[in-house]
Every structure is written in structure tokens, then in C-alpha cells.
């Protein structure tokens, strides 16, 4: 939200009138009383709590750093310039009353901006994006369009009001100076020169893509969007996924507890770092050769995808499909949904499930059945965008979907 900016002369006129007690007399600078009244006395709400209610919220940056999107349901309170998020209404009420509880987090709206979020920020409907002066960006969402519109209006008013308060605090601290008009003109000239130099610098600065093309900046592999990663590697199945699958199939399909036994986390993290920094990797090297390191790294790759292999957009559709009582119709519904996924998701899924079928075929040696594989991979490959109290129910269906695809691999992938 942008507030109306006063010139230095207008600010000094207002201050002078305030100090002389003449805020309702004609201005010596020739500014009409009505204009001074409008500029210096904006209306303010006096309610201690302007608005509250349940919203879905996620941070996308914190203190200027990108964070993983994690939608949660939160009781949201707007009070003055503070936007506060608590786990429940009871916690929020307790915090305002006795200060015995603390909210999950809060942000200061002074100097913030608010706008309706674009589709590249979230696939959800009715989403607002709030950016604070301290570099925190939030997405807040409601399933009700009318509710989110009310919040938009309330937040926009709060931002506008407290922007005025910030301006006035600066005005009241400014000392008067007889040569102020001259200094103001000099300051304006300096600001123009600084803006011109900055504009020239920015136009000469190379684009992010140009820097990447020259090899100064490398995109990561872990935590990268699957479609972006495949486009960069000019494939539809990431190289790291293929490398892990080939190594495991050549070296360890008969290993007891394959995928169920955890590898050394410190070694897995070293492998992750090496892959992210484009180092040449040979999983047969002595430092990586433990099969459980390869299986752990592969699971970590899928777990750290910003959007799971079964994308958020189709999460509920897959759940509805697995609930179908007629088995043939259930298989067909799952197949139709798989075919609607982006091509990298389809091809990577087919490659992974083909591999997991081989793991099951060696079940007598590795003691991994379709059910045990589904328990390991279900929550990793399918997860809701917003975690809620139904996690236990979700897990049952997640496992059932993975197990069905393992049993009906040929029917679903058309083999």
C-alpha cells in the first residue's frame, strides 16, 4: 500500500502550526486549513482488535531468505500494526489477556505491502501475499472468497494507517531550520543523482540466467522443482534418480531391509552436498558404497521436492479414486490421474515404481513386500499442501495408493 507523501515544506508547515497551536488557523505558507486537516489528521481505528478469525498461512521468505512452503491452519488476529498467528483461538485470547501463552509468530505491518497472490505463488484460490519491511513474505488463504476479501480490506487499511503514523513520527522529530527550503532542493538533487547512478548500475548488471550460463551460479538438485530440474538436464527423469536406481539394482536388491533400514545420515548429507555442487559422483566409491546411503539419499531427494511426485493439485483426486469400491474402476481412475500429471512426474514415477517392483521381486532375500515398500514411500510421494489433524487417515490412503500402483504397474503404465 502506498501512502500520500508530503513535501518537506508541507511537513514543516504542519509542525510549525502544531507548535503554535494554530492547526485550525489559515496557514502562513498559504496551504488551506482543509488540506492541512486532511494531511495531518487521518482517521484511525481505536479498537484494540480490528479483526480475527481462522486462516491458512505459510511463510515463503523469512528475513529475506527463502523458506519451504508449509501451509498450516492458524487463528489470525489483526491488532494495530501487528498481525498475529496462534494455534487456536484459546491461545490467542490467553496471549492477549495474561501473556501466559505465545503465538506461533507475528509480523509488523508498518511499511508492509499486500496484494492478491499470483498463481505461481500458490495454486490455491483466494490467496493474499503480505510482504514486510524486514523481508518476511507470507501467503494467507481462506476457502471463502468473501472472508479473504474482508481480510484484504482490513489489512490494507491497517497498512495505510500505520504508514501515516510512521511519517508523523519522523516529522515530529525533525528540527526546524531557516534554510530548510534550500536544503530540501539540494537533497532532492542528490536523490535524483543517486537514483540515476543506481538505474545505470542495474541496467548494466547481468541477468541471473546470464550468470548461471557462465557457470558462476549452480542450481541445486535436492529441493529443486522437478520440472525445472528436468528442463535443465534435458531429460524427463533426473540423472541422480537414475544413478541411484542403477547402483541399487546392480549391487543391493537382495540386501536385508532395503529402503527400510536407514543409512548413515552424515554420509547421506555429504552425498547430497556433493550432488548439489555438481561434483562427479561414483556411488561405488568407498565413501558412498553402503547401499543404505544410496537408498537414503534417493528417499531424501523425493522428500525434499518442493511439490511431491503426486502433485498437490491431484492429492484429493487420488484419495477419492482409492476409495472407489469397484476394483477395475479404481485402477482405471488411478491410471487416468497418473496420465494427467506433468510428463516429468509421469516418467519419474514410472522409473521409480519399475525399480520398486524389482525390490519386491527379491522379497525373499530383502524381506520387503509391496505393503512394506508402500509404508516407506507413501508419505514421501503423496502429501497434502496443508498438514492437518487427518494425518493418520491420510497415511492409510497414501500407502494404499502406492501399493495399488505396485500391484497394477502394467495396467497403469500401459506395459
Whole-number Cα distances in Å, 180 to 9, 101, 174, 344, 358: 8, 50, 11, 64, 81
Higher pLDDT, 203 or 409: 409
Q: What is the pLDDT of residue 86?
A: 82
Collapsed DSSP state (helix, strand, coil) of residue 362: coil
Please report which confidence band the pLDDT of residue 46 belongs to, taking 50, 70 and 90 as the band edges.
Answer: very low
Alpha-carbon gap, residue 361 to 368, rounded angstroms: 9
In the predicted structure, residue 254 carries a pLDDT above the cut 50: yes
What DSSP string describes 280-321?
A: ---TTSTTT--HHHHHHHHHHHHHT-SS-SS-GGGHHHHHHH
Mean model confidence pLDDT for the chain: 78
In the predicted structure, residue 34 carries a pLDDT above the cut 80: no
41 Cβ contact list (under 8 Å, min separation 6)? none
Please report which confidence band the pLDDT of residue 9 belongs to, taking 50, 70 and 90 as the band edges.
Answer: low
Higher pLDDT, 36 or 184: 184
Distance of CA 18 to the CA centre of its chain: 46
Measured in residues, the chain has a length of: 415
Residue 20 near residue 26, CB atoms below 8 Å: no
- pLDDT, one tens digit per residue, over 208-217 is 556 555 555 5
Collapsed DSSP state (helix, strand, coil) of residue 88: coil
Whole-number Cα distances in Å, 190 to 6, 12, 199, 367: 18, 20, 14, 74
311 Cβ contact list (under 8 Å, min separation 6)? 341, 342, 345
In the predicted structure, residue 309 carries a pLDDT above the cut 90: yes
What DSSP string describes 231-292?
A: HHHTSSS-HHHHHHHHHHHHH-TTSTTTTTS---HHHHHHHHHHHHTT----TTSTTT--HH
Give the global pTM: 0.52
Alpha-carbon gap, residue 342 to 227, rounded angstroms: 8
Percentage of the chain with pLDDT > 90? 35
Q: What is the pLDDT of residue 52?
A: 84
- pLDDT, one tens digit per residue, over 358-395 is 999 999 999 999 999 999 999 999 988 877 656 666 78
Radius of gyration, CA atoms only, the chain: 29
Q: What is the pLDDT of residue 210?
A: 61
In the predicted structure, residue 24 carries a pLDDT above the cut 50: no
Amino acid at each position: 500500500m502506498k501512502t500520500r507523501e508530503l513535501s518537506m515544506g508541507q511537513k514543516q508547515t504542519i509542525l510549525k502550526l502544531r507548535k503554535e497551536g494554530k492547526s485550525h488557523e489559515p496557514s502562513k505558507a498559504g496551504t488551506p486549513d482543509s488540506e492541512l486537516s486532511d494531511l495531518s489528521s487521518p482517521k484511525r481505528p481505536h479498537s484494540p482488535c480490528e479483526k480475527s478469525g481462522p486462516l491458512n498461512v505459510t511463510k515463503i521468505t523469512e528475513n529475506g531468505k527463502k523458506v519451504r512452503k508449509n501451509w498450516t491452519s492458524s487463528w489470525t488476529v489483526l491488532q494495530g500494526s501487528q498481525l498475529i498467528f496462534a494455534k487456536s483461538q484459546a491461545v490467542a485470547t490467553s496471549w492477549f489477556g495474561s501473556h501466559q501463552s505465545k503465538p506461533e509468530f507475528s509480523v509488523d505491518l508498518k511499511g508492509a505491502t499486500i496484494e492478491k497472490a499470483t498463481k505461481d505463488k500458490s495454486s490455491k484460490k483466494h490467496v493474499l501475499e503480505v510482504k514486510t519491511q524486514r523481508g518476511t513474505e507470507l501467503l494467507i488463504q481462506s476457502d471463502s472468497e468473501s472472508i479473504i476479501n474482508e481480510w484484504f480490506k482490513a489489512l490494507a487499511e491497517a497498512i495505510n494507517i500505520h504508514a501515516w503514523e510512521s511519517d508523523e513520527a519522523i516529522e515530529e522529530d525533525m528540527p526546524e531550520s531557516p534554510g530548510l527550503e534550500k536544503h530540501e532542493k539540494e537533497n532532492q538533487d542528490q536523490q535524483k543523482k543517486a537514483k540515476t547512478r543506481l538505474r545505470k548500475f542495474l541496467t548494466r548488471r547481468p541477468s541471473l540466467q546470464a550468470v548461471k550460463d557462465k557457470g558462476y551460479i549452480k542450481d541445486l538438485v535436492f529441493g529443486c522443482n522437478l520440472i525445472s530440474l528436468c528442463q535443465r538436464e534435458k531429460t524427463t527423469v533426473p540423472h541422480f534418480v537414475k544413478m541411484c536406481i542403477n547402483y541399487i539394482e546392480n549391487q543391493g536388491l537382495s540386501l536385508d531391509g532395503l529402503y527400510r533400514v536407514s543409512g548413515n545420515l552424515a554420509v547421506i548429507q555429504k552425498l547430497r552436498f556433493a550432488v548439489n555442487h555438481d561434483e562427479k559422483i561414483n556411488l561405488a566409491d568407498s565413501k558412498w558404497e553402503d547401499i543404505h546411503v544410496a537408498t537414503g539419499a534417493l528417499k531424501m531427494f523425493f522428500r525434499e521436492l518442493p511439490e511431491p511426485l503426486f502433485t498437490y493439485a491431484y492429492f484429493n483426486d487420488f484419495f477419492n479414486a482409492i476409495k472407489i469400491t469397484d476394483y477395475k474402476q479404481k485402477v482405471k481412475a488411478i491410471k487416468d490421474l497418473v496420465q494427467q500429471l506433468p510428463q516429468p512426474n509421469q516418467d519419474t514415477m514410472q522409473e521409480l515404481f519399475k525399480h520398486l517392483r524389482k525390490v519386491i521381486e527379491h522379497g525373499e532375500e530383502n524381506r520387503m513386500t509391496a505393503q512394506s515398500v508402500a509404508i516407506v514411500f507413501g508419505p514421501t510421494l503423496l502429501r497434502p499442501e496443508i498438514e492437518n489433524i487427518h494425518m493418520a487417515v491420510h497415511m492409510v490412503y497414501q500407502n494404499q495408493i502406492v501399493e495399488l500402483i505396485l500391484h497394477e504397474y502394467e495396467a497403469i503404465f500401459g506395459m
